[in-house]
Chains A and B, each alone.
Chain A
Amino acid sequence: MTKWVWKGLQTGIKTTAYPGSPETAAGVSPGRPGWKDPVERKKIMSLMDLCPTGALRPTEERISMDYRRCIHCFRCRRFPAEPLDWEPGYEWGEIVSNQGNLGKTFSNSLHIRIVDAGACGACLSEIGHITSPYYNIHRLGFFITPTPRTADVLLVAGPGTDHMRLPLEKVFEAMPAPKRVVAVGTCALTGGIFGKSFATRAGVGEIVPVDVEVPGCPPPPLAIIHALLVTAGRKKPPDAPSYPGTEREEGRS
């Protein structure tokens, strides 16, 4: 026991400094496609064929990147002779509804209810990490609750399977207002690789009104923390990307 305390003191604080200062450790985020120079037409066509989910799409002379569909397969980065540039970073949470953030009352205390709406497990694994000693959301005043009755934020992962439709609706109904829904991962945003099928919806937005979106497949823990900070009004959502030849798709499909 004494050894344990001593070891802890010796080791010091290892928890990430984010959001106080940016996290610089290697491998905290896979990054995502993002480029600085204009891309040629020929290259666009080859990249399009490579993209399995249609995240890269041509629009007239330019190429558009839909992060809500990107599954981080790295095909556009590894396979072409001239790979597409990827950008590092993890501040991906975006407010998509007109409800805005939760406001000052919740800025230092946010209670989160997690619902798995048919996720493959990757997103849940990343969500699991946010309470780990390294990311430790409790230091931010964020807590995970076992019941929707005390929850302010509904964190959903997965495309929204038919079987989870009713529980999801019930959870949302059971939460007291004001409440926000954070959709985590590509599946929760657009259906991801499951897409709209006989058993799943194209994202949980078809079941509950999503307020904040976290793209990524899976989004790294820091991206989820960023989204929660955005929900609580402690961080701003990222500015619209200014990469040449990139166009963000407006609205939700």
Chain B
Amino acid sequence: MMETGILFVVVFLICGLGVILAAVLPDRKNPPALAFVASLATLTLLWASGRVLFSDHAIFNSLWRVTPLIRLSIEIDRVSSFFLFITGLVFFPVSIFSAGYLKKYLGSYSLKSFALFYHLLFASIVLILIAGDVFSFFIAWEAMSILSYLLVNYEHGHEENTRSGFLMLAMSEAGTLAALVAFLIMAKTSGGIDFGSLRSLSLGQSARWGVFLLSFLGFGVKAGLVPVNSWLPRAHPAAPGNVSALLSGVILNLGIYGIIRINADFLPLKDVGQGLTVLAIGTLSALIGILYATPENDMKRMLAHSSIENMGIITAGLGAGFVFISSGHSVLGGIAFIAAFYHMANHSLYKALLFLGAATVDSRVGGRDMDRMGGLIRKMPWTSLFYLIGALSIAALPPFNGFVSEWLTLQSFLQCSALTSKGVKIAFALCGAGLALTAGLAVTCFVKAFAMSFLGMARSEAAQNASDPPHSMTIPMGILGIYCFLLGILPTYVIPQIDHVVVPFVHESALDALVPPFFTVGEGNERFPKAFVSEFHDLGAQVGSDTLPGRGLVIMHRGSTRNPVIFAMSPSYTIIVLVLLLVSGIVVVRVLTRKRALARRAAWDGGVRRLAPTMTYTATGFSNPVRVIFNAVLRPVTIQDSKETIAQHFLNAIKKDKREIHLVDRLFIRPIIDGGRLLAAWLGRMHSGRVNTYAAYVLLALMIVLMIQMLA
């Protein structure tokens, strides 16, 4: 127990060492040093958090008292260890990747400061997750916000990047403020600011709603939820590739962590309406995210929009869980929570993988525009392979991890038949349909993302001359790809661990309901009657029970007796069947065609003299159907730029361009900005510039204060 605490101390010591090394070493030696020290720190973190996660001892440690009220403490329970573990899983490959990637900045930007910020960011993220009181939480949160801003804005030479960085910082601070107010409302009644006293808190209905809305919106900024997502698609293209991977893989999760901490841990949501709000916002984020991701041609901005989508799916899963729990269906709530947590882990892994892929392509091709890529699979085979794994995972195709969690999320939505309220059922059906549409569009989006950048013909000279990066950059992607595969085929081993994490919120384990102990199921299990088990035995659910440890390889939910909705899936067996199908298919085709002559010809190109890359499909062309179908949502604005000569009667050149203003910017941000400007203009009128007026203002203010004083 104490050892685990010491391990965390070691993590911080290594980070400190990293900071010192970064300051001492010259720029040239900084990237390898960063990779070495940071991977050492992440491995220690994985070890430490793994101990908490898998062996189930929570750590609570009071550090020291700053003032009588403020007592710094750390608290590591299953939830924080789960987030810490994901952080470690993502940080490890990203740190190795950075060694090779950062070389491109050598000479143009200071690598010393990058390494410095990187280690500090890592330390601050760990600190957020292990903080045991509001004070240290917000200190770490602020540090994280500012450090991530500094890292995102690392290429500060471009004005666009600086603007994106400022927007990110501004929105992040606004969110922090909202979350802080939520914490203060809670702290006011609890009398203490350590997490322990916040837990034993009872608040009125309106205060609960206030805390919920403020914390959800405040932490929602970090999670990139609609309508506070504007910074995300702007920050990602500005950030260096490895920082993008961290931003989507780790920092967005912190928003979810905040939402869970408050709304599941401190003040568990009791109102169905709150759960439905989370559900609706999640679905909306997912839908809007993917709608903007699909037509996007900038590789990193596309991934950023897709991050919004995935955060939406996670939030929708959480919302479903909240609704189930508040209406008394703990097991179903558990399933929804498991789905959401699983999806979060998956998203961190495959999004980090995709961002590393995008960073590699960006640094080798020198641009992120997918219209200018193409044919990279022949030039960068390893990068393409790993990017393909990431794309398959995020498109929720088996046998990769995205499939499992999206399937679970949608299945947990179908469980709404257990609910009684008609309105809630309709809301679930609508959100389920929205998520299904999202999943469909995600496939389109990532078929486009992979096909348009890696397949076909090279559409630019840079793409023609690209090459795979050194192995120090491909191996990290490989590690993430292996994670994606393992999480995709072994969900029955992952779900028990996640169940372990969500039990404190749900108060009932969904493990027996979700991963039935088929390998050990005996005679007298009342959950599964003998006839039912034998039926599944005939289907082969117990195949492998002699050799494999664990509960079984089938994910299954049987529903209640009133709603005997049964869903079952086994990705582990699916991969075996897929491989067998593929092999047998090849064998059958070989046998059937063994006597036939085979002629190989060049692909039919319509008989043109030479197939030019300009004649082939581009990313814009491929995604245009989506752009046309969702024209009412995307509403592109045509920008015509023409040059005229001779008294505007002759046009020299016409350049037509289409720009899309994000739906949220159009409907939410713009009105706020316009309203603010109007208000400022109206208030500005009181500045007449005459001394007499200002004296009158002072007098007026004094009188108002006095009157308030008298009344109060």
Contact = CB atoms under 8 A, between A and B. Distances in A.
Contacts of B666: none
B604 A167 contact: no
Contacts of A149: 604
Interface in B592-614: 599, 601-602, 604-609
A174 B609 contact: no
Contact of A173 (B601, B608, B609): B601
A167 B608 CA distance: 6
Contacts of B609: 166
Interface in B560-612: 599, 601-602, 604-609
B601 A174 contact: yes
A167 B599 contact: no
A149 B599 CA distance: 12
A148 B604 contact: yes
Nearest to A176: B599
Nearest to B605: A170
Task: Decide if the interface of chain B is mainly helix, strand, loop or mixed.
Answer: loop
Nearest to B601: A174
A174 B600 CA distance: 10
Contact of B604 (A166, A168, A174, A177): A174
Nearest to A115: B607
A76 to B, nearest CB: 39
A174 B603 CA distance: 8
Contacts of A166: 607, 609
A148 B602 CA distance: 12
B643 to A, nearest CB: 36
A174 B608 CA distance: 13
A177 B599 CA distance: 9
Contacts of A148: 604
Interface string A149-190: 100000000000000001110110110110000000000000
B604 to A, nearest CB: 5
Nearest to A174: B604
B434 to A, nearest CB: 38
B144 to A, nearest CB: 57
Contacts of B607: 166-168, 170-171
A188 to B, nearest CB: 17
A42 B605 CA distance: 56
Nearest to B603: A174
A167 B604 CA distance: 11
B474 to A, nearest CB: 37
A201 to B, nearest CB: 17
Contacts of B606: 167
A147 interface: yes
Contacts of B599: 176-177
Interface in A110-168: 147-149, 166-168
Contacts of A173: 601
Nearest to A170: B607
Contacts of B608: 167
Interface string B601-641: 11011111100000000000000000000000000000000
Contacts of B604: 147-149, 174
Contacts of A147: 604
Nearest to A169: B607
Contacts of B605: 170
A240 B606 CA distance: 39
Nearest to B608: A167
A111 to B, nearest CB: 14
Contacts of A168: 607
A175 to B, nearest CB: 9
A150 to B, nearest CB: 10
Nearest to B606: A167
A171 B606 CA distance: 8
Nearest to A177: B599
A98 B608 CA distance: 31
Which of B604, B605, B607, B609 is the most central at the interface, judged by chain A CB atoms within 10 Å of its CB? B607
Nearest to B604: A174
A171 B609 CA distance: 12
A148 B606 CA distance: 9
Which of B599, B601, B605, B609 is the most central at the interface, judged by chain A CB atoms within 10 Å of its CB? B601
Interface in A171-220: 171, 173-174, 176-177
A149 B605 CA distance: 11
A166 to B, nearest CB: 6
Contacts of A170: 605, 607
A167 B602 CA distance: 13
Contacts of A176: 599
Nearest to B610: A166
A47 B71 CA distance: 120
Interface in B291-307: none
A226 to B, nearest CB: 28
Nearest to A173: B601
A148 B601 CA distance: 12
A79 B599 CA distance: 56
A49 B711 CA distance: 124
A42 B608 CA distance: 53
A166 B606 CA distance: 11
A146 B604 CA distance: 11
B603 to A, nearest CB: 9
A148 B607 CA distance: 10
A180 B601 CA distance: 18
B599 to A, nearest CB: 7
B596 to A, nearest CB: 11
Contacts of A171: 607
A177 B608 CA distance: 22
A109 B115 CA distance: 70
A167 B607 CA distance: 4
Nearest to A168: B607
A146 to B, nearest CB: 10
Interface string A31-71: 00000000000000000000000000000000000000000
A208 to B, nearest CB: 12
A78 B382 CA distance: 76
A149 to B, nearest CB: 6
B114 to A, nearest CB: 53
Nearest to A148: B604
Nearest to B607: A167
Contacts of A174: 601-602, 604
Nearest to A149: B604
A218 B602 CA distance: 34
A149 B608 CA distance: 15
A148 B604 CA distance: 8
A147 B607 CA distance: 10
A99 B106 CA distance: 69
Interface in A65-110: none
A176 B601 CA distance: 9
A173 B604 CA distance: 10
B602 to A, nearest CB: 8
Contacts of A177: 599
Interface in B122-179: none
A46 B222 CA distance: 97
A113 to B, nearest CB: 11
A160 to B, nearest CB: 14
Contacts of B601: 173-174
Given A149-B604, A167-B607, 16 more contacts: A147-B604, A148-B604, A166-B607, A166-B609, A167-B606, A167-B608, A168-B607, A170-B605, A170-B607, A171-B607, A173-B601, A174-B601, A174-B602, A174-B604, A176-B599, A177-B599
Interface of B: 599, 601-602, 604-609
5 contacts: A170-B605, A170-B607, A173-B601, A174-B602, A176-B599
By Cβ-Cβ distance, the 6 closest A-B pairs, closest first, are A167-B607, A170-B607, A174-B604, A149-B604, A171-B607, A174-B601
